[in-house]
Structure 1
Amino acid sequence: MNILYIHQYFVTPKEPGGTRSYWISQELIKNGHNVTMLTTTKGKDKPRKVVIDGITVIYLRIPYNNHMNVFQRLMAFLKFMCLSALFVLKTKKPDLIIGTSTPLTVGFPVLVGKKLRKIPYIFEVRDLWPEVPVQMGGVKNKLVIKLLYRFEKSIYKNALHVIALSPGMRDGVKDAGTPEGKITTIPNMSKIDKFWPRDKNTEVIKKLNLSPDSFKVIYFGAMGLANGMDYILDAFTFLKEENNIELLIVGDGSTKPDLIKRCELEGMDFVHFYGKMPMAQLSETVNISDVSLVTFADLPILATNSPNKLFDTLSAGKPLIVNSPGWTKTMVETEKCGFFADPKNPEEMAKAILKYKNDPALTREYGINARRLAENTFDKSILCEKFVKTVEKTAQKYL
C-alpha cells in the first residue's frame, strides 16, 4: 500500500523526542509498504521533501516549541491543520492515511481526505484530546468544548480503526461511542537496542559534572504544566539533609526556567538541569542513573498517559517511581519494577527514593524486572509488528 502518515511532531532517532512513528514507518516499509510522512520543520528550517531511511518526509514550515504560549501553540496547530489538509487534497491519492494525535487538529486533514477524496484512514490516539486541555483549564468556553467533543467523536466514527496507546485511552475512545471491536491498544514502545543496562560510563559522569559515587535520580522528557515537575522538587525538599543524592533533569519545556529559579532560591545545588539530548546521549545519561521518575500533574485524565520515558526506563533496566494512579501504577507494582507515590504527597516519593538508595539489592532486582518487561512485552520489534498487522488486517477487511 501507499500510506500517507500524518504526524505533526515526527522525529528520527538522531533528534530529541519520541520516535514511535519512525519505528512504525520502518516496519511498514519492511513489510512492503510505501510511507510518506507529513510533518513540520524544526525551528526556522525551510519546507522540503527528503527521504530518510526509506521514508519520504514532507516538512511543512510551521515553527513550534515548548516555550510557546497558548495562543502561539494554537496558531501552530491550526496552520498545520490547514496546510496538511491542502496537501491531502492535492497529493497523489494514497491507499490509506494514518493520522496520529496530538493535537486533535490532526483529525481534520484525515477527515478531509475521507469526505472529499474517499481516502480511508486509521487514527492513533496518543492523548485523549480535548479532555486533556479541558481538565487542565486550557479550554473553558462551553460552546467550544461541546464542538471539540463532537469533532473527536466524528474522527473516531469515520476511522476504519482506532489505535489507543493505553487502556485508559482505549476506555476514553470507547466512551466516545466507538465500538470496542474497532479499537486496538498498542502502548508506547521500549527500544531495547537503544537503551540497555551496561557499566556506567565514568567519562559521561565527569562531563555532566556529577559525583562519581552519588545515588543518581533522573527525570527526562517534557517539562510542561502536565508533567508535575514541582512535585519532584517538593519531594527533594525532604532529602536536603541526605548525603550523596543527585537529581538529573533532562529536557525542556515551559516550566523549566521557573524550576531552575526555584532550585537556586532554595539552595538545591544537588539538582542538575540539562537540555534535550539525542537518543545515544540520553541512553548514556539514563544508564549512569540509579532510579527514574515518571510524573504528571494530579489530574485524572493524565493517568491515561503512555509516556516514552517509562518505556525507555524499562529498556535501560532502571527501577521506576510513578505518581499516576492509573495503569502505570498497576503495571509497576504487578511487575515489581517500580513504586507508586501519591501525587498529593511528595514525601512518599522521597521515601521511595530512600528505599532504593538504602537497598541496592532491591534496586538491582527491580531493574532486572524492568528490563525483562521491556524485552518480553514492550519492545518495538513486538509492538511495531502488532501495529502493522492491525493496519494490514484492517485494510484487507475494508479496502
Structure 2
Amino acid sequence: MNILYFHQYFKTPQEPGGTRSYWIAKELIGRGHKVTIITASSQFTKQVHETIVDGINVIYIQESYNQEMGFYRRLKAFCRFMYKSTKIGLKYSDVDLVIATSTPLTIGVPALMLKWLKKVPYIFEVRDLWPEVPIQMGAIKNPLLIKVTKFFEKIIYQNATHVVSLSPGMRDGVIKYIPYEKTSMIPNMAKKDEFWPREKNYKLMKELGLNQDSFKIIHFGALGLANGIESVIETAELLKNDFTIEFVFLGGGAMESRIKEKIELLSLKNVKLLGRYPMRETSEIVNFCDVSLVSFLNLPILSTNSPNKLFDSLSAGKPIIVNSAGWTKDLVEDYVCGFYVNFDAPSDLVEKIKFLQKNTHIQLSMGEQSRSLALNKFDKTILCKEFGDIVEKIESQKYSLNYKN
C-alpha cells in the first residue's frame, strides 16, 4: 500500500521530541508498505523539502512552530500547515490509505479532503482530546467557536475508517460519536533499546553541574502550562534546605521562562533546568536519575493523557510519581511501579520522594516492575505491531470489497 501520513510534529530519534510516528512508519515499511510523511519544519530554506529518512519518504513544509507560542499563534501555525499539507496531499494520485495524527485537530482536514475528493480511507489517531483540552484550560472560551470545533471533531471521527486513541479516557471521548468497534486504544510506547537501566554516566553528570551523590527527581519533556510545573517548584521550595535531593528538568515550553524566574526568585539551588536534548543524551540523563515525575495540571481532561515520558520512564526502569487521577494513577498503583500524589498538596510529593530516598529496596523493586511492564506490555515492537495489524485489516477489507464489486 501507498500510505500518506500527516503529522505536523514528526521527529526522528536524532531530534528532541516524540518519535511514535517514526516507529509506526518503520513498522509499516518493514511490512512492505510505502510511507510518505508530510510534516512541518523551519530548518529548511525551501517552502517544500523532500528527503528520505531511514527509508521513510518525508516531505517537510516550511512552517514555524514552537512550544513557547501562545494559543492564537499556534492556531495560526496549525491553519497554515493544514492548508499547505492538504494542497500537497491532493496532488498524490496513488494513495491507498491516509493516517492523520493529532494534535492539532486541524490535521484531520487533509485526511477529510482526500476521503471526500479521492475516496481514500483514513485512520485518525487521537493523541489529545481536542477541542476539550483547550476548552478546559481556558484557551477557547467563545461559545460559537466551542460549538464549531466540537462539530468538527465529530465529523473527523465519523468519517474515519478507524480511530486510534492513546488512552482509555481518550477512547471514551471518541465513542461518544462513533461505535466502539471502529476504535482501538494503543498507548504511547516504551522504547527498550533507547531507554534502559545501566551504569551511570558520572562524566556527563559532572558536566551538567549535578551532584554525584544526590537523590535526583527528573521531569523530562514539555514545560507547558498543562504540565503544572509550578506545583513541583513549590515542592522543591519545601526541600530547598535538603542538599541531598535535586530536581532535574529536561525540555522546554511556554512556561520555561516563568519557571526560571521563580527558581531565581526563591533562590532554589536544588533545581536544574537543562534544556532540550536528543533521545540519546536524554536517555543518559534519565538513567542516572532516581525517580521520574510525570506532572499535569489538575484538570479532568488532562487525566486522559498518555505522556511519552511515562513510557520512557518505564523502559528506563524508574519508579514513577504521577499527579493525574486518571489511568496513569491506576497503572502505577496496579503494577506497583510508582506512586500517585495529590497535585494540590506539594507536601504529598515531598513525602513520597523522602520515602523512596530512604527505602532503596522499594525504589529498586518499583524500577524492576517498571522495566518488566515496558518489556512485556508497552514496548514499541508490541504496539507498532498492533497498529500495523489495523492497517492491514483495513487493506484486506478494501481488497475484499473491490473483489466483490
Normalised to the residue count of structure 2, the TM-score between the two structures is 0.97
Give runs of aligned pairs for residues 1-399 of structure 1, distance below 5 A. Answer: 1-43=1-43, 45-46=45-46, 47-175=48-176, 177-399=177-399
Which letter maps to 1:369?
Q
Instruction: Please tell me whether the aligned partners of residues 294 and 309 of structure 1 are also in contact (alpha carbons under 8 angstroms).
Output: yes
In structure 1, C-alpha distance between the alignment counterparts of 2:337 and 2:223, rounded to whole Å: 24
Structure 1 residues 332, 45: closer, same or farther in 2, change over 3 A?
farther
Distance 1:45 1:189 in 2: 33
Q: For structure 2, list consecutive stretches of 5 or more residues without a partner in the other structure.
A: 400-405
CA distance in 1 between partners of 2:201 and 2:86 (Å): 47
What SS does the aligned partner of 2:251 have? strand
Q: Which moved more, 1:345-354 or 1:188-197?
A: 345-354
Contact 2:321–2:340 (CA<8 Å) still a contact in 1? yes
SS in 2 for 1:248: strand
Q: Letter of the aligned partner of 2:216 in structure 1? A: K
Matched residue type, 2:321: I
Matches of 2:92 and 2:180, distance apart in 1: 33
Shift of residue 44 of structure 1? 5.6
Say if 1:231 and 1:346, in contact at 8 Å, map to a contact too.
yes
- Equivalent residue letter for 1:14: Q
Percent identity, aligned pairs only, is: 51
Aligned residues of 2:201 and 2:288 also touching (Cα < 8 A) = yes
Matching residue of 2:402: none
AA aligned opposite 1:303: S
Q: Aligned equivalents of 1:395 and 1:149: distance in 2?
A: 30
Q: Deviations over 1:67-86 (max 9, x none)?
A: 11222111100001111111
The separation in 2 between residues aligned to 1:142 and 1:196, in whole angstroms, is: 47
Q: Note the C-alpha offset of 1:93.
A: 3.1
AA of the residue aligned to 1:298:
N
Q: What is the DSSP-based 3-state SS (H/G/I as helix, E as strand, rest coil) of the residue aligned with 2:123?
A: strand
- Contact 2:243/2:270 (<8 A) preserved: no
* Secondary structure class of the residue paired with 1:148: helix
The separation in 2 between residues aligned to 1:394 and 1:52, in whole angstroms, is 26
Structure 1 residue 234 displacement after superposition? 1.2
Cα offset for 1:199?
1.1
AA aligned to 2:256 is K
Contact 1:44 1:63 in 2 (8 A): no
Q: Do the aligned residues in 2 keep the contact of 1:67 with 1:254 (CA within 8 Å)?
A: yes
Distance 1:49 1:114 in 2: 24
Give the aligned residue type for 2:307: P
Identify which range, 13-22 or 338-347, moves more after superposition. Answer: 338-347
| In 2, Cα distance between equivalents of 1:286 and 1:34 | 34
DSSP 3-state at the match of 1:57? strand
In 1, the alpha carbon distance for the partners of 2:199 and 2:63 equals: 41
Distance 1:261 1:201 in 2: 30
Runs of 4+ in 1 over 4 A off after TM superposition: none
Structure 1 unpaired stretches of 5+: none
AA of the residue aligned to 1:74: L
User: What letter is aligned with 2:22?
Assistant: Y
Q: Alignment partner of 2:325: what SS?
A: coil
Q: Deviations over 1:129-176 (max 9, x none)?
A: 00000101111111111111111011010000000000000001012x
Q: TM-score, normalised by structure 1?
A: 0.98
State how far apart, in whole Å, the 2-side matches of 1:43 and 1:359 are: 47
Contact between 1:160 and 1:398, CA under 8 Å: does it hold in 2?
no
Deviation at 1:391? 1.1
Find the aligned partners of 1:377 and 1:394 in 2 and give their Cα distance: 24
Is residue 43–residue 64 contact of structure 1 (8 Å, CA) maintained in 2?
no
The residue type equivalent to 1:236 in the other structure is A
Letter in 1 for 2:52: V
Tell me the C-alpha RMSD between the 2 structures.
1.0
User: Deviations for 1:239-275, whole angstroms, at most 9, x for unmatched residues?
Assistant: 1232311111110001011101111111111101111
Letter in 1 for 2:32: G
- Structure 1 window deviating more from structure 2 (365-374 vs 44-53): it is 44-53
Of 11-20 and 239-248, the range deviating more from structure 2: 239-248
- Aligned partner of residue 90 in structure 2, secondary structure: helix
Is the partner of 1:84 in helix, strand or coil?
helix
Instruction: Measure how far apart 1:43 and its partner are.
Output: 4.5
Given that 2:10 and 2:19 are in contact with CA atoms closer than 8 Å, whether structure 1 keeps it comes out as: yes
Matched residues in 1 for 2:353 and 2:394: separation?
A: 45
The match for 2:403 is none
Which stretch has the larger CA shift, 234-243 or 285-294?
234-243
In the alignment, residue 102 of structure 1 is paired with which amino acid? T
Residues 83-137 of structure 1 show CA distances to partners (whole Å, capped at 9, x for unaligned) of 1111122123300000000000001111111111111101000000000001011
